[in-house]
Amino acid sequence: MSAELVDLNGANGAEVRNSYQDFLNRISNIPDFGLTEAEDKIVAQTSSGEINVGMNLEDGVSTDLLRFTELPLDGHDGPRKLDICIQFKYTIRGSEESGETFYELKDASTWVTYLERTGGRTNGRVNAKIQQGMHFDCHIRPRKNHPVFHTQFDPTSVKLHALTSEYCIDGVDPDEQDELEAKFRDYPRIPSAPMDITGIVYLVLNDHLPTAMELPYGWPPQLRKKVGELPSFPEGCMNRLGEGVKKMVPDWWYVHPSSDGPNTAEDIVDARSTPFESKW
């Protein structure tokens, strides 16, 4: 099936923004998942027929964060707790088929930093230390030698001025952003599953709250349908990977046991894939 690219407008931007915000609001209702202050985090802007959506549209300026707080370090109760901080910025384009508009991710960057709580607060901010960080990128027209989907490890992935609005971080001066970025180089570019905010949430749930994952589909019931309504990666960028993997989404990489044995959540994979072959 073929579809034509179309210019998106402010109404489309509002629809996309509301879809992401509703997804986050539903996450907030998952017991013990600890997503804090998720309301009104998402911003959408329309430019040149495309939508920019996310929390960090001005490249490092925003201090807004998605924060999963006090998660068990290894998925089991214990004294060590993690906070996971996330920002994202996506460019969305639209295609039309039989009068219906579909939304695709054209470019996507998601920044993630893991913090371990060290106990107490300083001047109202949570005491913590940086444990790990990475960012996930997708560029459907990547530069030469860049994987279409890749991740890069970087403890300063979420900018310090954003983290220090909520945390007092051991041994870190927020004015040392440039020095820390120089110290923690963000190469290599490691080919990865196609990870957007839904993929990050899926990863965090599996790692730190596995009891919330419903069998055999994996996603908690309050999120399963909503995930399929969000912008998806275009099948065109999957075709380079060879026949049989066009529908590669983060869920594909997890095996979900069922009464009939392991499966790869086929229904979810189908829902997450753009239902047409757009010209990209």
Answer yes or no: is 146 within a domain. Answer: yes
Dist. CA 200–CA 146, nearest whole Å: 21
In 58-99, the DSSP E strands lie at 66-72, 81-97
Evaluate whether residue 239 is within a structural domain. Answer: no
Nearest to 12 by CA among 91, 110, 124: 91
Whole domain around residue 9: which residue ranges? Answer: 2-197
How many structural domains are present in the chain? 1
Q: Is residue 214 part of a domain?
A: no
What gap in Å lies between CA 249 and CA 265, rounded to an integer? 11
Tokens of residue 75, six digits: 């998925």
pLDDT of residue 49: 96
Residue 6 tokens read as: 């179309």
Q: Is residue 186 part of a domain?
A: yes
Question: Is the predicted pLDDT of residue 249 greater than 80, yes or no?
Answer: no
What global pTM score does this model have?
A: 0.83
pLDDT > 70 fraction of the chain, expressed in percent and rounded: 75
What is the torsional sign of CA 201, 202, 208, 214?
A: positive
Q: What is the mean pLDDT of the chain?
A: 79
How do residues 139-176 score in pLDDT, each as one tens digit?
877 677 777 888 998 888 888 888 888 899 887 776 77
> Which residue has better confidence, 265 or 221?
221
The CB density around residue 65, as the number of other CB atoms within 10 Å, is: 23
- Tens digits of residue pLDDT in 58-94: 765 677 888 999 998 876 777 888 999 999 999 999 9
pLDDT tens-place string over residues 30-54: 877 778 777 788 999 999 999 999 9
133 within domain boundaries: yes
Average pLDDT over residues 214-219: 69
> Which two tokens mark 15?
């629809």
Query: pLDDT: is 156 or 114 the higher one?
Result: 114
CA 218-221-225 angle, to 5 degrees, is 90
Which pLDDT value is given to residue 215? 64
Does residue 229 sit within a domain?
no
**pLDDT score of 112:** 95
Band (117; pLDDT cuts 50, 70, 90) = very high
Q: Which residues pair with 198 in a beta bridge?
A: none
Give me 191's structure tokens. 């080919």
Q: Is the residue at 10 inside a domain?
A: yes
The pLDDT tens digits for 175-193 are 776 676 667 666 788 888 8
Across 245-266, average pLDDT = 54
* pLDDT above 90: residue 260: no
Q: Tell me, yes or no, whether 115 lies in a domain.
A: yes
Q: Is the pLDDT reported for residue 56 higher than 50?
A: yes
- Averaged pLDDT for residues 94-114: 90
